[in-house]
Amino acid sequence: MVIMKALFAQLKKNRILKAIILLLLVSTNTAYADWYKQEQTIMGTLIKVELWHNKRLQAKKCISLVMTDMQRIDASMSPFKHDSELSHLNRTAATQAVKVSKELFQLVSKANRISEQTHGQFDITFASAGRLYDYRKAIRPSDEQLKNLLEAINYRHVLLDPRKRTIHFQHPQVYVDLGGIAKGHAVDQAIKILRQCGIKHALVSAGGDSRILGDKQGLPWMTGIRHPREKNSFVVLLPLTNTAISTSGDYERYFIEDGVRYHHIISPASGKPANKARSVTILGENTTTTDALSTAIFVMGPQKGLETIETLPSIEAIIIDTKGKVHYTSGLLQPKQEN
Query: Sign of the CA dihedral 170, 174, 175, 181?
Result: negative
3-state secondary structure the chain: CHHHHHHHHHHHHHHHHHHHHHHHHHHHHHCCCEEEEEEEEECCEEEEEEEEECCHHHHHHHHHHHHHHHHHHHHHHCCCCCCCHHHHHHHHCCCCCEECCHHHHHHHHHHHHHHHHCCCCCCHHHHHHHCCCECCCCECCCHHHHHHHHHHCCHHHEEEECCCCEEEECCCCCCCCCCCCHHHHHHHHHHHHHHHCCCCCEEEEECCEEEEECCECCECEEEEEECCCCCCCEEEEEEECCCEEEEEECCCCEEEECCEEEECCEECCCCEECCCEEEEEEEECCHHHHHHHHHHHHHHCHHHHHHHHHCCCCCEEEEEECCCCEEECHHHCCCCCCC
Nearest CB to ligand ADP, comparing residues 216 and 284: 284
124 binds, among ligand ADP, Mg ion, none (CB under 5 to 8 A by kind): ligand ADP
Find, among 150, 115, 43, the residue nearest to 86 by Cα.
Answer: 43
Measured distance CA(284)–CA(201) in Å, rounded: 18
Q: Is 74 in the site for ligand ADP (CB under 6 A)?
A: no
Q: Is 291 in the site for ligand ADP (CB under 6 A)?
A: yes
Site string for ligand ADP, 99-138 (x = CB under 6 A): -----------------------xxx-x---x--------
Site string for Mg ion, 273-312 (x = CB under 5 A): ------------------x--xx-----------------
Nearest CB to Mg ion, comparing residues 93 and 186: 186
Please give the torsion angle defined by the CA atoms of residues 60, 62, 68 and 70, in that order, rounded to the nearest 10 degrees: -120
Q: Is 180 in the site for ligand ADP (CB under 6 A)?
A: yes
123 binds, among ligand ADP, Mg ion, none (CB under 5 to 8 A by kind): ligand ADP
273 binds, among Mg ion, ligand ADP, none (CB under 5 to 8 A by kind): none
Stretch that binds Mg ion, among 40-48, 82-90, 172-180, 198-206 (CB under 5 A): 172-180
Q: Is 295 in the site for ligand ADP (CB under 6 A)?
A: yes
Q: How far is the CB of 314 from ligand ADP (least distance, A)?
A: 19
140 binds, among Mg ion, ligand ADP, none (CB under 5 to 8 A by kind): none
Q: Is 278 in the site for ligand ADP (CB under 6 A)?
A: no
Nearest CB to ligand ADP, comparing residues 121 and 329: 121
Nearest CB to ligand ADP, comparing residues 154 and 329: 154
Residues of span 190-229 touching ligand ADP by CB under 6 A = 207-208
Q: Which amino acid is at 152?
A: A
| C-alpha R_g of the chain | 25
Stretch that binds ligand ADP, among 5-13, 161-169, 293-301, 328-336 (CB under 6 A): 293-301
Q: Is 112 in the site for Mg ion (CB under 5 A)?
A: no
Residues of span 252-271 touching ligand ADP by CB under 6 A = 252, 264-266, 268
Q: How far is the CB of 291 from Mg ion (least distance, A)?
A: 4
Number of residues that bind Mg ion (CB under 5 A): 5
Find, among 229, 225, 237, the residue nearest to 261 by Cα.
Answer: 229
Q: Is 223 in the site for Mg ion (CB under 5 A)?
A: no
Binding site for ligand ADP (CB under 6 A): 122-124, 126, 130, 177, 179-180, 183, 207-208, 248, 252, 264-266, 268, 291, 294-295, 299
Binding site for Mg ion (CB under 5 A): 180, 248, 291, 294-295
